[in-house]
Each structure stands twice: as structure tokens, then as C-alpha cells.
Structure 1
Amino acid sequence: MDFAIPDDLRELQERTRRFVAEQILPLEREVPQGGHGPSAELRMELVARGRAAGLLTPHASRAMGGLGLSHFGKALVFEEAGYSWLGPTALNIHAPDEGNIHLLEEVATPAQRERWLKPQVAGHTRSCFAMTEPEGAGADPSMLQTTAVRDGDEYVINGRKWFITGADGADYAIVMAKMEDGSATMFLTDMDRPGIRLERNMDAMDSCFAGGHGVLVFENLRVPAADVLGEVGQGFRYAQVRLAPARLTHCMRWLGQARRAHDEALAYARQREAFGKPLAEHEGVGFMLADNDIDLQTARLHIWHTAWLLDRGERGGFESSRAKVACSEAEWRVVDRCVQILGGQGVTAEKPVMRIFMDMRAFRIYDGPSEVHRWSMARKLVRGGGERA
């Protein structure tokens, strides 16, 4: 693996960093603490700025209007975008849209790409991914209870989903449902179809996702057979097509937030004096800053290595699980230390670190809790190293 960054990616990385610093950070005051993410109006302003900067949807293929970034290219750009909690929205790389864009490029028909993917890559629409259920599917997708039954040229879907990120205000959804034979299928549906109801928005710890997290009810939702995403019965396989890269991009974006928190704590420790000298010169604080740097670099190397494997065409399932655990826990430790260093300013909105702390805690849950990934890794290790990927 070559750690040298090509000139074109270095330029794009630096351009993204300047864009976030100059155009996005000043807008953070527009989103109140504890809200459900950027409003529709703010989202459109952010997307307009990303489009004008030539940075919109960089992970999409050039044929669809993106920049066609490799996984390693995404690692560089997504970290820079993640430095602000509004950056991923400005670049149209936020969850769940980023993963849905990747999935549709891999699986959707030309007609489906034209109808749903093309407007999304252009930043005109957004989406949600409806899989998680209150008493069923989540970390274990095989527990699906939402059903889809064939009726002529349509499928009739019934069920209830929750913790559906971005549901409120989404233009379309990818819905995972169980078939009569026990397999699973993904369906594309516009959110304004009869039979879809947003029951409520959940009161969640984080507040960085457009639309928050919603509870969706499907009551005799009729979806044309032409709107099946991919092949009938292949939903679980497509979930892995989506989730392996998506869990890695979570690591990339949150690395930017952890680096932001570290920068805030480092600046404070340099200028804040206690007991006759700057905080940074006290060994306890200095050790925390050093540990932050260790964790940030460890997370970055996990991301880069897994991205490198994916760019080589390897499945990287084992490595992406490892990266998800290592990064979510290392980045969380960084932010937690930063709160401690900042003291009172770390637990108030005087500094952005409190907001980052609240948003990031859920990262250890999203796209599979650490315990599920450890369990999956252990099973593969026991079966033998050759089975890891």
C-alpha cells in the first residue's frame, strides 16, 4: 500500500477543507441544538454551495454527474467534509443518501437510475432506507416482519419501520420486506404514495441528520413490480453491497468531527492557564492530547487500509467490520477526552464539542453495534483466516 496522496486528490482534499472552513462553518449557528438536523431550506442552501464549488456528490460516478471518487478518494474528502456537521449535507454525502446512491448505481435498472438516482446525485432530492423495525430487523436483518405479497403486477407491502434516518421530507425510500418464501426484497417507492405514513419523528440524541429519525407505517402500500430494486429475493445480499462501504464512510465523516473536537481542545489547552501554566503543560492534559493523536491516526489507517482493499476489488467485509469497531470507539474516545479538557466549555454550547459529543455517541450503534461486529469477526476468525472476507 502506497501512502502517497496523488496530486489531484491532494488538491481536492485541500479544496474541500477550504470550502468547509470558509462557507460551511459559519452556517452552523443556523441549526439549533437538539433539532432534527438542517431544515429543507438550509439543506438547499448548503447543496447550492456545494454545487457551486464543484464538490457535490463526489462519490457518484462521472456518468451520473459526480466525481467518480475511489474509496481512498472518499476517505480524504469525506473526512474534510465531516469537519463540520453540515459538511456532509453540503457535499450530498450524508447518511443514508450516500449509501443509497452507491446501492442504486450498483443494482438499479437504467429506468430506475433516471427516475430516482439522477435527481438525487444532482442534489434535488433525498431518500431514506427503511429496514430497521421496532421488534424485528436491526442488527439482525433476518428478523424482518414487514411483508410483501405479489398481487398481479404489483406487490402489497405491510409493516412498521422505525429509526428510519431522513424519513421526514424524503422524496423516495428503499424498503426491505420479507417475501412469502422467507427471503427478502428491496423496493423503490416515492414517499407520497398512498399507504405510506410517517407516524412520528423520534426524539434522538443526535441532531445532524436531515429529517431526523422517523417511524414509518406501511398499510397496503402498492409498489409496481418494475420498482423492485435488483432481483426478487436478493435483499439480504444487496444490504451487504450497501452496508460494507456505508459503514466505512461513517468512519470517514466522524473522523472529521473527532479531528474538529481535538483542534478545539488543543487550542484551548494552549491558551487556558491553571496553576501557573497553560493546561497543555500539565502532564494529565498533555497525555490526553497525545492519546487523541494516537486514536485519530489509528482510525485513519483503518479507513485507508479498508478503502485500499475495496479499491482492489476485494469484498472487505471482515476489514470493514474491524474498521467500524476501531474507528467508532477511537473517535468516541477522542471526543470524550476533549470534553474533559474543555471542562465547563465542553458541556455547554460555548464550544462545538458538546454538539459533536451528543451526535457521535450513536455512531457506536449505527450500521451495527460494536458487539455485533465483534461477534461476526470472531465467527470468521474461528472458521479460519481464509474465510474472513
Structure 2
Amino acid sequence: MSSEIPSLVIDRISDKAKKTLDIVQKFVEEECQPCDAVARAQMEQMGKRWGVYPPVIDDLKEKAKKLGLWNIFLSKTHYDQGAGLSNLEYGLIAMQLGKSGLASEAVNCAAPDTGNMEVIAKYGTDEQKKEWLQPLLDGHIRSAFLMTERRVASSDAKNISMKMERQGNEYVLNGSKWWSSGAGDPRCKIYVVMAKSNPEAAGDYKKHSVILVPANTPGIKVERMLSVYGYDDAPHGHAEITFTNVRVPVSALVLGEGRGFEIIQGRLGPGRIHHAMRALGSAERALELMIARVNDPDRKTFGKQLNQHGVIMEWIARSRMEIDSSRFVVLNAAIKIDETDAKGAQREIAIAKVMVPQVALAVIDRAVQAHGAAGVSQDFPLASMWAHMRTLRIADGPDEVHLQQMGRNENKLNQHIVAKNEQQRKRAAAKMKEYGFKASL
């Protein structure tokens, strides 16, 4: 496996990471991928979609712990609780985890828990770490991140409107959230909630706070579970939740009042790059399935095996080019995070966040086409992969928001080009005149 590490980064990868990568690849291929079907069958056998989870995941977790594959997402650069790997090293590992729907959870590196653990590890008090971070690190509980709201344009987080008012030694929350991913899982015990606590504060970015809310707090109601292109994502799920006079102690506040944006930017940066890493794993898996399908000797059309059709070979070639190009974009962002932090790598993260899901979607779509009708059925993971990959163009900020911000920053940083271009125009005009031509530039 270590031979597959891109040569441009091989010198940045420790021997420990190379060994871990080999173990992860074997674990994903031999344990997790075969159990994807088992998990679906167990959910069907239990006869209900919510309040249960497939027990095979606990078996995989035990195997992962014995192999030393646990909490490997927490980078050694910024955290003490992880496995001692860099963001770059975890990036290569996450690309393997993305090849199975169970692998990330099996090694306790599944969203939204990863981002929530990072929030508490980075900003939480000792009491918050003891109560919530340690059980999450141990894999005993799961969590949800509640930010998006139905009745406002949540792509602009300044619109978040859930009320959070201090009354004595408590905060009282009223409002609703949706797309609360993970809230359907019976193991979900804590919500990381963003709400408006300081509506009169000067500056739009000082009006919101983040608070830790136990999922069983009185006044919380899960109204319904939402589907993703028809998939309910049980047991994980995406919930619409209402808060009615939900009371939480002041000690549950994270970092301080009005610091919500500071926290979520610190949270979403790594989360976006983790999504991109796993997305490349899904794209690789789709390409593997496509190659296996077109090389099936029983698959012939118009007298030719599928792999003899030029268009199929073009699909494979384009998929490889796009995956490899995107891989360098992701690894570059991971390196930048290691060298600075998520804020310092904002541009690199945004490029990966926009580019990679689009590439993964294109590769998966080609694989679906190569499979024909089977590609959109439950017999292959491609339809589900496509549906979930499509959400990444919206989750953690839609493409348009990242592109707008990136374009604005790029334009601002390169204003010197305007003056430089004018100087070049004047030089060219002078040269034209020097050689006896009329300057029309």
C-alpha cells in the first residue's frame, strides 16, 4: 500500500503512518466492505428503522481497536488525544475509509463526531471534556451538530435565528433545526448547537454562540427524519428538531458568548477536508466497480465485451486523471493545515471542498452508466454513493458560497495585477512607437 503514496509526499509520511495505511487498507477490504451488506440486512431484520443500529458495527469497532485503528483523525499537530498522525497522513488513510460505508465509524472517525470531538478538544472546559469528549473518544456515545435551520438561508450562517437567552445560571433555547445529522442514532447523546445569544451585539459575527445540549433535555422534540434522495440513512439519520424552553446550564457554553463563528470555522475547516478525503475513497471504489463490471466476460454488447468499447476506456481514463488530480488538491490542503491551521488553509480547503465532490460525482455517474440498470438498484452501492456525494455540494457550505469567498479573496490579494497590466500596456505601446507602428493598445 505504501507504494501507492504519491511520490511528491512520500518524504512527509512517517513509517508509522505507512504501516497504519497498510493495516487500514486490509481492514477496509477484508472486514468493512463485506459488512456493508451485513449492516443493511441486520437493519431490515430488526424490522424498524429508528432506535436501533446494526450490531455488526460493534464487532468492527472491537477489531479496529485491537489493530490500533482508533481516533486517527485527531492530528498530532493540534491535538494530544489522537493516534499521532498528521492531517496529511490521515488524508491518505481517509481515502481508504471512504471505500466503505462502515469504515469511518468502525475506527471512530465518522462525521459529525469527528468535528464535534475537535470542538470540545480545542475549546471545551475540563468538565466538558470529561463529560462528553471522553465518551466520544471511547466510542461509547455519538453526537449531532445542530446549525442549519429550515426557515432561513443557512448558507449564510449570520441568518441562524434559534434564540438562546440567559436566565440566571441557565440558557433557554427556543427554535428549530433541521438536517441534524446523527440525531436518529439511539447512541446520540449530545447535540452541539449554534444559536443566537447576542442579537444586539456590534458586528454580525458576535451574535451567535455554541452550546452543548444533552439529547434527552426536556423540551427537545425530534419532529421527523429527512431523506436524502429517498435514502433515510438509518440509523444515523438527519432530523428536524424543535426546542421549546430547553434549559441548559451556563457551564455548557463553549468558549464564551458571541464566539460561535470562531468555533464553527475551526470546526468546519477540518470537517470539509475530511469529507473531501473520504469522497476520493468513494470515487476510487466506484472506479474499481466500473473496471470489474466492464471486464466481466459475460457483459457483451453488439458483439463486443464492454471493455472493447472506446467510450468505456475513455471513462476509465478520465476517472483516473480526475481522481489523481483531486488527490493532490486534498493532500495540499492537508499539508497547509499541518503547517498552519484550518484558518491558514482556508483557500486550499475551499478548493478541495468544491472540486472533489464534483469529481467524485462524475466518476460515480460513469460507473452507474457502465452498470446499466443495475447501477441504480440496491444490488450495488453506486446509487447510494451518488446520492450521498451530491449532498456534499451543499453540506458545510454550498459550492457557491465557497466560490464567492474564494473569488473575492483572490481578487483582493491580486489587485497589484491591475497596475502591473497597465504598466505592461504602456511598455507595449512604447515599443510599438519605437518600431514605427501606431500604438493602438
TM range (shorter): over 0.9
Match of 1:282 among 294, 305, 309: 309
Q: Which residue of 2 aligns with 1:193?
A: 217
Deviation at 1:104, TM superposition (A): 1.4
Match of 2:333 among 281, 306, 316: 306
Deviation at 1:323, TM superposition (A): 0.7
Match of 2:359 among 292, 310, 330: 330
Instruction: Tell me which amino acid in the other structure corresponds to 1:52.
Output: K
Q: Which residue of 1 aligns with 2:18?
A: 10
The size of the alignment, in residue pairs, is: 387
Matched, 1:88 2:115: no
Instruction: Tell me which amino acid in the other structure corresponds to 1:30.
Output: V
Deviation at 1:9, TM superposition (A): 1.3
Matched, 1:74 2:99: no
* Structure 1 residues 194-343: aligned runs within 5 Å: 194-205=218-229, 206=231, 208=233, 210-271=235-296, 272-314=299-341, 315-343=344-372
Instruction: Tell me which amino acid in the other structure corresponds to 2:190.
Output: Y
Q: Which residue of 2 aligns with 1:55?
A: 69
Instruction: Tell me which amino acid in the other structure corresponds to 1:252.
Output: M
DSSP-derived class of the 1:230 partner: coil
Deviation at 1:263, TM superposition (A): 0.1
Deviation at 1:36, TM superposition (A): 7.5
- Mark the CA change 1:117 to 1:306 in structure 2 (over 3 Å): closer, same or farther: same
- Mark the CA change 1:208 to 1:311 in structure 2 (over 3 Å): closer, same or farther: farther
- Mark the CA change 1:102 to 1:331 in structure 2 (over 3 Å): closer, same or farther: same
Match of 2:123 among 92, 107, 124: 107
DSSP-derived class of the 2:295 partner: helix
Bigger shift: residues 239-248 or 100-109: 100-109
Q: C-alpha distance in 1, partners of 2:81/2:346?
A: 28
Matched, 1:29 2:56: no
Deviation at 1:138, TM superposition (A): 2.1
Deviation at 1:38, TM superposition (A): 8.3
DSSP-derived class of the 2:268 partner: helix
Q: C-alpha distance in 2, partners of 1:235/1:326?
A: 27
Deviation at 1:268, TM superposition (A): 1.2
In 2, are the aligned partners of 1:207 and 1:359 still within 8 Å (CA)? no
Match of 2:151 among 128, 135, 146: 135
Q: Deviations over 1:319-371 (max 9, x none)?
A: 11111111010111110111111212212223222222222221211111111
Q: C-alpha distance in 2, partners of 1:38/1:301?
A: 39
DSSP-derived class of the 1:237 partner: helix
In 1, are the aligned partners of 2:182 and 2:238 still within 8 Å (CA)? yes
**Alignment RMSD:** 2.3
DSSP-derived class of the 2:69 partner: coil
Q: C-alpha distance in 1, partners of 2:270/2:234?
A: 19
In 2, are the aligned partners of 1:94 and 1:209 still within 8 Å (CA)? no
Deviation at 1:66, TM superposition (A): 3.0
Q: Deviations over 1:12-40 (max 9, x none)?
A: 11110101111111211134399679826
- Mark the CA change 1:385 to 1:93 in structure 2 (over 3 Å): closer, same or farther: farther
Instruction: Tell me which amino acid in the other structure corresponds to 2:220.
Output: I
Q: C-alpha distance in 2, partners of 1:266/1:60?
A: 34
Match of 1:41 among 51, 55, 70: 55
In 2, are the aligned partners of 1:165 and 1:209 still within 8 Å (CA)? no
Structure 1: 5+ residue stretches without partners: none
Normalising by the residue count of structure 1, what TM-score does the alignment of the two structures yield? 0.93
Structure ranking higher on relative contact order (CA contacts 8 Å, 6+ apart)? 1
In 1, are the aligned partners of 2:228 and 2:387 still within 8 Å (CA)? no
